[in-house]
Structure 1
Amino acid sequence: MTSSLTNNSRDFIGYANRPPAVAWPGEARVAVSFVLNFEEGAEFSVADGDARNESVYEVIDPRTGWDPCIDSHFEYGTRAAWWRIAELFDRHRAPMTVSACGRAVARSPWLAQDAVARGHEVSAHGWRWESHAGMAPAQEAAAMDTCMAAIEAACGRRPVGWHTRSACTPNTRALLAERGFLYDSDAYNDDLPFFVPVAGRPHLVLPYAFDTNDMQFQHTQRFATAAQFAEYVCDAFDWLHDEGATRPRMMSVGLHLRMIGRPARMKALALILEHLRRRSGAWIATREQIARHWLAHAPRPDAAATPAG
């Protein structure tokens, strides 16, 4: 069981090296979650009437007006990258979670629909591609509702998972619980799902990761080649695989259409998928599948005494 976690306290203990004895399906040692972020069309762009352009990308010459350069970089994700990524996952019969901004889905509903048709989960990544830090409760609730409505309109089903870009607010989890979300991924502090108390009930968190993430191609240039990224992710899996002999483990691999979908980086994704199949012991699953399995098999703490959110 995890220790209590509230808005005003931090949990430095977690499972204290005594995680629940949850067995993954098929005697797998590691639950592997590929998360493909779908943000194209939800980023800030003067062309869309925003006051500024998105600044997080490879473009290094900011413009105060319309910036067709950065706009076209984002468009690459839907025009070219989606198809090669989706086809690679098809070849490996591997499901993934498409973490989608609502406005991206509203502008390109065909992509979310194609993802569902291929057996992938479409989860919620906010209405816009923006941090929620500083949002008032009513503003955040409206962003959630608009995002959910866009995904449901395109996919015929409400999303059950949520991930905020950057920082969430003290109200995020309470608002998610009110809306019946199954899980959120607004944490980076563990290699396993865990529960936190929200409004007197246990709420499930599936931690995410920024190191096994293609964002490092741009944000830090930690990875210069596909081989470097593949080696890093495979090394992470191998270590967790060894630990998984005695305890359950989970690994998240963060991807972005416009980043991993470039031809020179696609080989990394192919190498990772091939490594997982060759080593065995990996349960490649959507985050919804992992969440439902954890909810069905992990003991839930008594959250009634420590509300959060």
Structure 2
Amino acid sequence: MNRYPRDLTGYGATPPAANWPGGARIAVQIVLNYEEGSENNILHGDTASEAFLSEITGAQPWPGQRHWNMESIYEYGARAGFWRLHRMLGDLPITVYGVATALARAPEQLAAMKAANWEIASHGLKWIEHKDMPEEEERAQIAEAIRLHTEAVGTPPRGWYTGRCSD
């Protein structure tokens, strides 16, 4: 039998010792993805509506059309979900994975992130698939994401997480 190409064992029964500061036994990282306003939408110049990330089972892109249900899911996150999390987590040191176009479209939410002194990392330019994108186009999108993030936030990204597959 050929060796399976994925590691499903990890450290197994003998994990390495994690020497956390102060003898802590657990480390918690809280990351808030801010993507609302960066999803596929004909209003953004895309050819179809978003279909990848939603609560709509079996969602398909609607070429040339707005998808009101899909838009309302993303709008709810910006209008209500973000503010609820900000009230709950505003005093904690969290990281925001912010999609550059979403941050640029949300000046009030961005101001609240900055006032809370949250670390704002880049989550790419738009919430789109990159896996079949030509390398030069993806490089151009990365450069534009850094430029737009820097313009919107006032500082360059403090980290990067693309979020969707890339070759």
Say yes or no: TM over 0.5. Answer: yes
Q: What is the SS of the residue equivalent to 2:29? A: strand
Q: Which residue of 1 aligns with 2:159?
A: 161
Structure-2 separation of matches of 1:143 and 1:111:
23
The residue type equivalent to 1:132 in the other structure is H
Structure-1 separation of matches of 2:21 and 2:152:
31
Once the two structures are TM-superposed, the CA of residue 104 in structure 1 deviates from its matched residue by 0.5
The correspondence of residues 121-132 of structure 1 with structure 2, limited to 5 A, is 121-132=119-130
Q: Which residue of 1 aligns with 2:111?
A: 113
Once the two structures are TM-superposed, the CA of residue 77 in structure 1 deviates from its matched residue by 1.3
Select 1:151's aligned residue among 138, 149, 152: 149
Once the two structures are TM-superposed, the CA of residue 127 in structure 1 deviates from its matched residue by 0.5
TM-score, normalization by structure 2: 0.80
Structure-2 separation of matches of 1:42 and 1:50:
11
Structure-1 separation of matches of 2:148 and 2:108:
12
RMSD of aligned residue pairs (Cα, Å): 2.4
Whether contact under 8 Å (1:43, 1:128) holds in the other structure is yes
Q: What is the SS of the residue equivalent to 1:160? A: coil
Whether contact under 8 Å (1:132, 1:165) holds in the other structure is no
Q: What is the SS of the residue equivalent to 2:30? A: strand
Q: Which residue of 1 aligns with 2:39?
A: 43
Provide structure 1 residue ranges, at least 5 long, that are not aligned to the other structure.
Answer: 1-9, 170-309
Q: Which residue of 1 aligns with 2:84?
A: 84
The correspondence of residues 63-82 of structure 1 with structure 2, limited to 5 A, is 63-64=62-63, 65-82=65-82
Q: Quickly say closer, same or farther: Cα 1:68–1:136, change in 2 above 3 A.
A: same
Matched-pair identity in %: 33
The residue type equivalent to 2:24 in the other structure is A
List per-residue Cα deviations over 1:234-256 (Å, max 9, x = no partner): xxxxxxxxxxxxxxxxxxxxxxx
Whether contact under 8 Å (2:119, 2:158) holds in the other structure is no
Structure-2 separation of matches of 1:159 and 1:31:
23
Q: Which residue of 1 aligns with 2:98?
A: 100
TM-score, normalization by structure 1: 0.46
Which structure ranks higher in relative contact order (CA pairs < 8 Å, sequence separation ≥ 6)?
1
Once the two structures are TM-superposed, the CA of residue 86 in structure 1 deviates from its matched residue by 0.5
Structure-2 separation of matches of 1:125 and 1:46:
21
Structure-1 separation of matches of 2:11 and 2:33:
29
Whether contact under 8 Å (1:113, 1:154) holds in the other structure is no
Q: What is the SS of the residue equivalent to 1:77? A: helix
Higher normalized strand content (fraction of residues):
1
Task: After superposing the two structures, state which structure 1 stretch, 53-62 or 135-144, moved more.
Answer: 53-62
Whether contact under 8 Å (1:133, 1:168) holds in the other structure is yes
Once the two structures are TM-superposed, the CA of residue 11 in structure 1 deviates from its matched residue by 7.4
Structure-2 separation of matches of 1:147 and 1:129:
11
Q: What is the SS of the residue equivalent to 1:32? A: coil
Once the two structures are TM-superposed, the CA of residue 67 in structure 1 deviates from its matched residue by 2.0
